[in-house]
Amino acid sequence: MSMEQAIITWIHLVSAAVWVGGSLFIGAVLAPLLKKTSMSLEERIQMMVQVGRRFNKIAVPSLVILIITGLYNSQQVLTNPENLLATSYGSFLLVKILLVIALIIAFIIHVRIIRKDVEEKIISKKMTEGQIQKLRKKIIILGEIIVIISVVVLFFAALLDAGV
């Protein structure tokens, strides 16, 4: 293995750590912690939105880097697309790529739910409790889907690495 390949893998791994680690931290540590505070529902949502926006500043570049370095790692297989279905490595890679596409779609919907105007409506209390709860449920489910897909992507990375 060349030094160049090692550096690409390293960048892929660091980006994976940022993306998966950060998402898990928000879902498994921050969200339950906020629930225990005396903050109102509006304040909690506002806090999560702020954390999310801040996290996206490193999460989105990480995802972009994962895709670029991932495509680099896949060059050999992708230049002979018949390998995608002919070998188990190719099939795992194909599933991994499809999962990443699903991840991107879930992420875009997740981010679009919490647009600036929606956030302002929540803060200025122009939304009923029921509307906020419905919105919150959607955000939480999409967040969970994102974390679950990310962890499953790691499993496919492990399958690729093990060469099963």
Q: Which residue ranges make up the site for ligand HEM (CB under 6 A)?
A: 9, 12-13, 16, 19-20, 66-67, 70-71, 73-74, 93, 96-97, 100, 103, 150, 153-154, 157, 160-161
Q: How many Å apart are CA 59 and CA 57, to the nearest integer?
A: 6
Question: Closer to ligand HEM at the Cβ: 67 or 109?
Answer: 67
Q: Is 164 helix (H, G, I), strand (E, B) or coil?
A: coil
Question: Closer to ligand HEM at the Cβ: 74 or 122?
Answer: 74
Q: How far is the CB of 152 from ligand HEM (least distance, A)?
A: 10
Half-sphere exposure of 5 (CA within 13 A, CB side): 6
Residue 153 CB coordination number (10 Å): 22
Q: How far is the CB of 158 from ligand HEM (least distance, A)?
A: 7
Contact indicator for 16, 66 with CB cutoff of 8 Å: yes
Q: How far is the CB of 85 from ligand HEM (least distance, A)?
A: 16
Which residue number places its CB atom closest to ligand HEM? 70
Contact indicator for 110, 59 with CB cutoff of 8 Å: no
Question: Closer to ligand HEM at the Cβ: 141 or 154?
Answer: 154
